[in-house]
Amino acid sequence: MAGEVRTSRRPSILNTDGRPHPVENVTTILVLVAGLVSFVLGLVVRNVHTAPAVHVLATALGLFACLAGLFAQMLSSTRNQRVLIVAGIIAGFVGLAIGLSKGGFVA
């Protein structure tokens, strides 16, 4: 057709509905990264004798991932965002639990 321009822009992994969601994408990635870092720090705290600052960091990041993840669930627009948010919440919860079991904020 004359005058019609079609773009073959593929939707990204998080924007499966074809519309951009920059705020939701940032919160999704933030929750996932915080949860994974908390999880890894929790495993380090569990298996290696570390400084108390690592205990506090694992606990704080886990708490942040859980609370921010619950808020991000309300903002999320696509299924892929929700899947990554839940993965971040679970990883953050495990890091939080391990951090609390080794002293938590009082370490």
The whole-number pLDDT of residue 87 equals 98
Q: Write the pLDDT tens digit of every residue in 25-36.
A: 999 999 999 999
Contacts 24+ apart (CB under 8 A), 13-17: 13/80, 14/78, 14/80, 14/81, 14/84, 15/78, 16/78, 16/79, 16/80, 17/77, 17/78
Q: Write the pLDDT tens digit of every residue in 59-106.
A: 999 999 999 999 999 999 999 999 999 999 999 999 999 999 988 888
pLDDT confidence bin for 5, thresholds 50/70/90 = low
The whole-number pLDDT of residue 9 equals 64
The pTM for the full model equals: 0.87
